[in-house]
Amino acid sequence: DAKTTQPNSMESNEEEPVHLPCNHSTISGTDYIHWYRQLPSQGPEYVIHGLTSNVNNRMASLAIAEDRKSSTLILHRATLRDAAVYYCILRAPGRGSNYKLTFGKGTLLTVNP
């Protein structure tokens, strides 16, 4: 799987927007960009995914660069409950055992009250 690079940690204040970056310079044309997060002492939780166009859902927005070599997860108004480790991963359809999720270290987001 193509590799992603994320900052180890970021900090935000409550009720402010948060932009979590992810670099994936070796992304292939068919790779989807997925984001999961993991709250303390919980299992991972799906956040959002996209291919080329920006995506919005109830949890967040995903902004994908035109060349697809980077993306940004946007939390519009951070809450204390958003404090978690955020994982950006690439997933390739139609290739062998692509159903496996593989997370790296992710970005630890701290939200200050």
Partner 1 sequence: GAGVSQSPSNKVTEKGKDVELRCDPISGHTALYWYRQRLGQGLEFLIYFQGNSAPDKSGLPSDRFSAERTGESVSTLTIQRTQQEDSAVYLCASNVDYRIENEQFFGPGTRLTVL
Using CA atoms, how far residue 65 sits from 50, 54, 61, 70, in Å, is 11, 9, 13, 6
CB 39 within 8 A of CB 59: no
- Interface with partner 1 (CB under 8 A), residue from 1, 23, 44, 61: 44
- Interface with partner 1 (CB under 8 A), residue from 43, 53, 66, 67: 43
* Shortest distance, position 46 Cβ to partner 1, whole Å: 4
Query: How many H helices and E strands in the chain?
Result: 0, 9
Footprint (CB under 8 A) of partner 1, residues 61-90: 87
Given the rule CB under 8 A, which of 11-19, 21-29, 36-44, 73-81 is the region that contacts partner 1? 36-44
Given the rule CB under 8 A, which of 14-22, 58-66, 76-84, 102-110 is the region that contacts partner 1? 102-110
- Interface with partner 1 (CB under 8 A), residue from 22, 34, 83, 88: 34
Nearer to partner 1, 32 or 63 (CB): 32
Strands 107-112 and 9-13, sheet pairing: parallel
Q: Going by C-beta distance under 8 Å and a sequence separation of 6 or more, which residues neighbour residue 92? A: 1, 2, 28, 30, 31, 32, 98
DSSP state of 5: B
Interface positions with partner 1 (CB under 8 A): 32, 34, 41-46, 49, 87, 91-93, 97-106
